[in-house]
């Protein structure tokens, strides 16, 4: 790989051992990719927390958070002291909500350790946004901005909806990027890799957030890690999907497959026309999504559930928008969560503050539900005690929870889920 | 001529992306692999619900697969297998992505890609495979004849000392 003078100086240790280790990792990673050089970035989204029991033990035995960062964010052979970060960095979601640890079954000791870790994180200059949706709370990259983001659902949003440029980075490459302001110039940083590989023609209108999740889940399964170009029914989308719909669409497509970039013709910034999205004269496969594919996807997402008695309803994957919290509050107002069921709703801390101000938190709590922040059940492996059957409005969470926690998962609309929370029974049907 | 005693060795050539030499029994899948949420790092077991290898551990095996998918936690999930002693001995894959490139680099398991022949067509689960991540070569000793009969001469070689995989 070719390095600039500045990069060579960092590689040779001018800025200390941690930056040297970071450059060494970027070189090993870049060579593995086949990248020719690095690109400057001033926008990183990363995880550096240690909120799982394994990471806590690792920190205790090997030398605290510097040891955790050295091993798991730099792949360093030795423990080095970590300097303040060079570039703007957002922290992704955590292993639990430190404000509601007891509810999540997390012991006091873990919270105590987490708080020390958070002081380390913010001390480095990392923004404690603690969300899978940094684009909701102050990190909204501009079109063409080179980023180094973790979190597949955020990566696909960053590339596709915002037109910024990032690959799916991991904990180690994002760790190296925050100390150096560099990331391999490869993949979605280059124009030619952002062009579509598949055309997806919609035969039906896609309406609800759950519908967009199903479409994404189907597309990811079909195209795996390629770049789908979606055209609306009859050639154009009758309505522009909002943030929540695209958040669920992208999260699903990056879970069933590895989609990191898509185009919606007439909607997303690099797809004003089909030709712009695909490139002139490039042949691509065409797929068709209609009522049959939608039904098959709905069945697939509900395939592992048989028991209609629901113990737990989880909303907020990816983290709920304030609009979604408003919707949940309206559906819940004046009702009660069933005595055999629990309702947890996950959102970033900053949005929870708005929900508190708006009175939504009060409405949801009076109904017997809870708003949590910073995490989700898949990240935390935490559910209400004794949960066997969960109801979800997120295809991504429905993909992961049965695998991670061995639960039965029902998938449906937000309204289906609130209904299940209030009745304790699943009665979701494909409308 | 009845059954040669020398087992046939097939050699694939590719690009080594993680250095070192390791060998072991092949574990082959045509399904992409999810890292975070797709494997249990504590045991090196695949847990994804609809994966053909669900419940199977890749610890100490030469993992042969098309590529990575899913969460950006891929590299961390495989990084953890190294620190927990459940990592694959080596990895062979076809489709380059940032997830697999970073994951392989931090797992420190010798890894080869960009092959002259598709390893998924050549290697079957149970074959004995030696991976040289410095040279980008893979040597395969087949466990079975092409008609499916087991090879009389096939016997599992002694695995190399652990340090061999960590060069």
For residue B51, what is the nearest residue in chain A, using CA coordinates? A403
Q: Which of B68, B79, B101 sits opposite A32 (nearest CB)?
A: B101
Q: Which of A47, A150, A258 sits opposite B69 (nearest CB)?
A: A258
CA dihedral for A22, A28, A30, A35, sign (positive or negative): positive
Q: Which residues make beta-bridge pairs with B39?
A: B36, B46
Q: Which of B18, B49, B69 sits opposite A257 (nearest CB)?
A: B69
Q: Any catalytic annotation for residue B75?
A: no
Residues of B in contact with A31 (CB under 8 A): 17
Contacts of B18 in chain A (CB under 8 A): 32
Handedness of CA B51, B52, B57, B59 (dihedral sign): negative
SS3 A34: coil
CB contact (8 A) between residue A33 and residue B71: no
pLDDT single digits (tens) A338-349: 999 999 999 999
- Interchain proximity B68–A258, CB inside 8 Å: yes
> A243 by DSSP, 3-state: which?
helix
Residues sharing a CB contact under 8 Å with residue A94, sequence separation 6 or more, in sequence order: A49, A51, A114, A130, A374, A375, A379, A380
In sign, the C-alpha dihedral spanning A350, A353, A358, A364 is positive
Q: Which residues contact A43 (CB under 8 A, 6 or more apart)?
A: A87, A88, A139, A141, A145, A146, A147, A148, A149, A164
> Which residues, other chains included, contact A66 with Cβ-Cβ below 8 Å and sequence gap of 6+?
A79, A80, A81, A82
Sketch out chain B's domains with CATH numbers.
9-151+162-166 (3.50.30.10)
Q: Give strand ranges (E) for A110-164.
A: 148-149
For position B167, what pLDDT does the model report?
34
Task: Report whether pLDDT(B150) > 80.
Answer: no
Name the helix (H) or strand (E) containing A53: helix A53-62
Task: Using the structure block, give the residue that is written with the tokens 């797809």.
Answer: A271
For A250-298, write each residue's pLDDT tens digit: 999 999 888 999 999 999 999 999 999 999 988 899 999 999 999 999 9
Q: Is A28 on the interface with B (CB under 8 A)?
A: yes
Which of A32, A378, A404 shows the shortest C-beta gap to B104? A32
Structure-block tokens of residue A309:
């008695």
Q: Residues A68-73: what's their mean pLDDT? A: 97
Q: Work out the angle between the directed axes of helices A171-180 and A64-72 (0-180°, nearest 10).
A: 110
Confidence (pLDDT) at B156? 67
Average pLDDT value for chain B:
89
pLDDT-derived band at B154, boundaries 50, 70, 90: low
CB < 8 Å to A32, chain B: 17-18, 101-102, 104-105, 111
Q: What are phi and psi of A91, to 5 degrees?
A: -90, 135
pLDDT of residue B159: 57
Question: In this complex, which of B67, B71, B103 lies closest to A152 when CB atoms are compared?
Answer: B71
Q: Which residue has the tokens 């923004």?
A: A127
Is residue A293 within 8 Å of residue A217, measured between CB atoms? no
CA dist., res. A274 & res. A263, Å (int): 9
DSSP A391-417: EES-HHHHHHHHHHH--EEEE--HHHH
Q: Is the CB of B49 less than 8 angstroms away from the CB of A170?
A: no
pLDDT of residue B165: 39
With an 8 Å Cβ cutoff, are B69 and A171 in contact? no
Q: What pLDDT score does A54 carry?
A: 87
Element (H, E) at A184: strand A182-184
Q: Is the peptide bond before A330 cis (omega within 30 degrees of 0)?
A: no
Dihedral sign (CA A303, A304, A305, A306): positive
Range 56-115 of B in CB contact (< 8 A) with A: 67-76, 79-80, 83-84, 95-99, 101-106, 111
Q: Which residues pair with A264 in a beta bridge?
A: A230
CA distances from B35 to B63, B76, B80, B102 (A): 13, 8, 10, 12
Coil, strand or helix: which one is A145? coil
Q: Using only the alpha carbons of chain B, give its radius of gyration.
A: 15
Decide if B83 and A403 are in contact by the 8 Å CB cutoff. no
B contact test, residue of A1, A34, A147, A168 with most B CBs within 10 A: A168
Please give the pLDDT value at position B166: 38
**Rg of chain A's alpha carbons, rounded to an integer?**
22
Q: Which residue of A has its CA nearest to B49?
A: A403
Residue A180 in contact with residue A23, Cβ under 8 Å? Answer: yes
User: Is residue B27 over pLDDT 50?
Assistant: yes
pLDDT (tens digit per residue) in A168-225: 999 999 999 999 999 999 999 999 999 999 999 999 999 999 999 999 999 999 998 8
* Nearest-angstrom CA–CA distance, A426 and A430: 13
Top residue of B92, B98, B105 to mutate, by most chain A CBs within 10 Å, is B98
- DSSP code string of A304-353: T----B--EEEE-SS---HHHHHHHHHHHTT----TT-EEEEEE-HHHHH
Q: Does A224 touch chain B (CB under 8 A)?
A: yes
Predicted confidence at residue B164, as pLDDT, reads 41
The distance of Cα B65 from the centroid of its chain, to the nearest Å, equals 7
- The model's confidence at residue B71, banded by pLDDT at 50, 70 and 90, is confident
Say which of B41, B71, B75, B155 is annotated catalytic: B71
Is the pLDDT confidence value at B1 over 70? no
Q: What are the pLDDT digits (tens) for B78-109?
A: 999 999 999 999 999 999 999 999 999 999 99
**How big is the A-B interface in CB pairs under 8 Å?**
106
């Amino acid at each position: 790989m070719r390095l600039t003078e500045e990069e060579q100086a960092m590689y040779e240790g001018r800025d200390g051992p941690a930056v040297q280790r970071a450059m060494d990792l970027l070189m090993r990673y870049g060579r593995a990719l086949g990248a020719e050089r690095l690109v400057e970035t001033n926008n990183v989204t990363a995880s550096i927390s240690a909120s799982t029991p394994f990471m806590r033990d690792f920190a205790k035995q090997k030398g605290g958070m510097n040891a955790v960062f050295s091993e798991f964010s730099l792949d360093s052979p030795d423990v080095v002291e970590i300097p303040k970060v060079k570039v703007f960095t957002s922290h992704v979601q955590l292993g639990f909500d430190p404000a509601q640890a007891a509810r999540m079954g997390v012991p006091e000791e873990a919270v105590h350790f987490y708080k020390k870790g958070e002081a380390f994180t913010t001390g480095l200059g990392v923004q404690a946004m603690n969300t899978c949706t940094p684009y909701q709370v102050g990190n909204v990259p501009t079109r063409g901005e080179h980023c180094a983001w973790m979190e597949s659902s955020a990566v696909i949003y960053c590339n596709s909806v915002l037109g910024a440029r990032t690959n799916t980075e991991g904990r180690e490459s994002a760790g190296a990027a925050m100390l150096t302001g560099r990331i391999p110039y490869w993949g979605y940083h280059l124009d030619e890799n952002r062009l579509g590989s598949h055309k997806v023609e919609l035969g039906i209108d896609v309406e609800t957030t759950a519908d967009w999740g199903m479409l994404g889940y189907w597309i990811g399964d079909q195209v795996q890690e390629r770049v789908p170009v979606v055209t609306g029914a009859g050639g154009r989308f009758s309505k522009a999907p909002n943030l929540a719909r695209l958040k669920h669409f992208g999260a699903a497509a990056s879970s069933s497959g590895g989609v990191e970039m898509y185009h919606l013709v007439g909607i997303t910034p690099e797809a004003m026309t089909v030709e712009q999205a695909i490139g002139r004269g490039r042949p691509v496969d065409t797929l068709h999504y209609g009522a049959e594919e939608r039904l098959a996807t709905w069945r697939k997402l509900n395939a592992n559930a048989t028991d209609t008695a629901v113990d737990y309803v989880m909303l907020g994957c990816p983290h709920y928008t304030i609009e979604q919290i408003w919707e949940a509050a309206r559906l819940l107002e004046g009702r009660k969560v069933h005595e055999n069921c629990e309702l947890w709703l996950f959102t970033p801390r900053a949005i929870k503050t708005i929900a508190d101000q708006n009175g939504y938190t009060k409405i949801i709590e009076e109904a017997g539900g809870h708003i949590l922040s910073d995490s989700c059940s898949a990240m935390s492996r935490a559910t209400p005690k004794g949960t066997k059957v969960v109801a979800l409005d997120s295809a991504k969470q429905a993909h992961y929870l049965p695998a991670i926690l061995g639960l039965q998962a029902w998938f449906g609309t937000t309204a289906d889920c609130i209904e299940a929370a209030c009745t304790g029974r699943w009665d979701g049907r494909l409308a | 001529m009845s059954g040669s005693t020398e087992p046939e060795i097939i050699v694939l050539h590719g690009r080594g992306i993680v250095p070192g030499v390791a060998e072991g029994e092949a574990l082959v899948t045509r399904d992409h692999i999810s890292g975070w949420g797709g494997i249990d790092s504590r045991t090196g077991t695949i847990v994804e619900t609809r994966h053909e290898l669900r419940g199977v551990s890749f610890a100490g095996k030469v993992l042969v697969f098309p590529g990575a998918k899913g969460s950006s936690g891929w590299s961390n999930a495989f990084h953890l297998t190294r620190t927990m002693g459940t990592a694959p001995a080596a990895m062979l894959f076809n489709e380059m992505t940032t997830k697999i490139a970073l994951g392989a680099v931090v797992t420190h398991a010798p890894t080869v890609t960009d092959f002259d022949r598709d390893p998924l067509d050549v290697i079957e689960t149970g074959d004995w495979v030696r991976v040289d991540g410095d040279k980008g070569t893979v040597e395969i000793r087949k466990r079975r004849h092409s008609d499916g009969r087991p090879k009389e001469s096939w016997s599992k070689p002694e695995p190399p000392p652990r340090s061999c995989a960590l060069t």
